[in-house]
Amino acid sequence: MLKYIITRLLIFIPTLVAISLLTFIISINTPGDPVDSMLNQSSNTGQSSDKLASEQAYIEQRAKLGLDKPLFYFSITNATYSDTLYRVHKKSHRETLEKLSFKYGDWPQIANYYSLIKKFENQLFLLNVSDDLAEDYRKLKEFTNSLYTTADEKTATTIISNIDFIVNGDKEFIPVRPNFTALQKAIISIVQNQSPHQHYIPKFIWYGFDNQYHNWISDFIVGDFGISYKDKRPVSSVLWDALQWTVLLSTLSIILAYLVAIPLGIKTAVDKGSKTEKSITATLFMLYSLPNFWIATLLIIFLCGGDYLDLFPPAFSLGKLPESAPFWDRFFDTTHRLVLPVFCLTYASFAFISRQMRGGMLNVIEQDFIRTARAKGLKENTVIWKHALRNSLIPIITLFANVFPLAISGSFVIEFIFSIPGVGKLTLEALTARNYPIVYTVLMFTAILTLIGNLVADLLYAFVDPRISFSSGKK
């Protein structure tokens, strides 16, 4: 048995690594730029100083988040791919450069071209031109800027010839001409020396240990989950706040679900075909089919002291009483406020769990040993609760494996409607805001708990059914 547990625990390690990789790859590839969504979270006032400043802010923020580092230890790609591309700050520029280097196959030249555009643009911004050239000057800046996002030879040539026309049109532009000539030459040389065959040469790039994945996973292992992008708090602290409510809610809901559903399942199995059984089943299925967000909203409208009944305080002021209030007062206050959310979380699972229980029970009570037990003259209650129950628990245990991840992942809908700051709400908000540190951590913990849940379920199988054993070979 012990050996089995140890083996299972060892299998956890590769599984978790695989999950972490998957999580990482998926989040990195989701569209949207976390730096941007962070900087522009609410500053839609449309008032910012000038271009250079905001770009500076972007670069700083990106470096602070460690997003300017390579993604992974290595990459296997073709020979056109650059090993330093990740250092380019702007996502749109990166994309253009990637396309260019793929098309023309020579990264050093592309890099040179990129730095020449930058040099030319910077020089342009420093230029002082007279008012009658303002139109040309503006166009010049615009054309130059559009080079950053042009990966197509034809368009680039048109742009270059447009710039050429303006730059050579007036002597005020003389200072920028040398740089422009260099830029022109760079383009010609890129096109002339293109080496598309490079696509077919595989290339292996080793980035070393200072990469995003390594930094994240090594911090994760030692318990440093990073800093939440949104409020810049440590993820552990944010998560701890949220977990308290979610675990409380989920635990109450799970306990309640099993306490009610198991007896109901047994009852409906034993009284199969009776009127009671039918009405219980009908009620449970009706509950099952009512969406909980709708019920939750209705309950709030009708029971929480709006225009109608005032039976329950609104759940949103959880923990309203100060810490100094007597424990029992706080206990009852919190319980009172939790009634509705717990109910909404729970009622749908009554039907599900009790159906599973009923199925398991029906299987068992038709078996020979139950008949034997009855024939021995045992009381019906003893037969059901002592002999049949234990053997019919297998499907329930399978369900029970999900309890662990469920207990921490929370329910977004219920948490949102009742304003409970739990993990479900936190995760969904983090997902939409590209708040990766929170997303990673929640997903990893959910994964770990799922694995643990499965292990516990397997062990419980052996416990309730002696025919199942993990000791050695088959028994």
Min separation Cβ 114 and other proteins, Å: 15
Q: Is 74 helix (H, G, I), strand (E, B) or coil?
A: strand
Q: From the CB of 451, what's the least distance to other proteins, in Å?
A: 20
Token readout for 18 is 């695989």
Interaction between residue 304 and other proteins (CB under 8 A): yes
* Ranges assigned E (strand) in 257-344: none
Alpha-carbon Rg of the chain, whole angstroms?
33
Of residues 106, 122, 119, 63, the one with CA closest to residue 88:
63
Within residues 146-165, the interface with other proteins by CB under 8 A covers 146, 148-149
What's the token pair of residue 64? 């602070």
Q: How far is the CB of 282 from other proteins (least distance, A)?
A: 24
DSSP state of 223: T
Tokens representing 411 are 């329910």
Using CB under 8 A, which residues numbered 15 to 44 contact other proteins?
Answer: 31-33, 36-44
**Residue 310: strand pairing partners:** 304
The two tokens of residue 43 are 């500053």
Question: Taking CB under 8 A as the rule, does residue 420 contact other proteins?
Answer: yes
Q: Is 54 in the site for other proteins (CB under 8 A)?
A: yes
Of 207-215, 315-323, 371-379, 385-393, the segment contacting other proteins by CB under 8 A is 315-323
Binding flag, residue 466, other proteins (CB under 8 A): no
Question: Residues 196 to 215: which contact other proteins by CB under 8 A?
Answer: none
Which CB atom, from 50 or from 366, has the smaller least distance to other proteins?
A: 50
Q: Which of residues 116-145 bind other proteins (CB under 8 A)?
A: 134-135, 138, 141-142, 145
The answer to whether 377 and 447 are in contact (CB under 8 A) is: no
Segment lying near other proteins (by CB under 8 A), choices 270-278, 304-312, 356-364, 370-378: 304-312
Task: State which of residues 2, 200, 307, 324 lies at the interface with other proteins (CB under 8 A).
Answer: 307
Query: Using the rule CB under 8 A, is 53 a contact of other proteins?
Result: yes
235 binds other proteins (CB under 8 A): no
Element (H, E) at 204: strand 202-206
219 binds other proteins (CB under 8 A): no
Nearest-approach distance from CB 57 to other proteins, in angstroms: 4
Nearer to other proteins, 66 or 108 (CB): 66
**60 near other proteins, rule: CB under 8 A:** yes
366 binds other proteins (CB under 8 A): no
Write the CA distances from 424 to 35, 370, 427, integer angstroms: 23, 44, 5
Instruction: Give whichever of 323 and 366 is closer to other proteins, judged by the CB atom.
Output: 323
* Count of residues of this chain found to bind other proteins when the rule CB under 8 A is applied: 83
The per-residue b/e assignment along 420-454, b for 16 or more CB within 10 angstroms, e otherwise, is bebbbbbbbebbebbbbbbbbbbbbbbbbbbbbbb
Q: What are phi and psi of 123, to 5 degrees?
A: -65, -40
How far, in Å, CA of 433 to CA of 238, rounded? 15
The nearest distance, CB 126 to other proteins, in angstroms, is 14
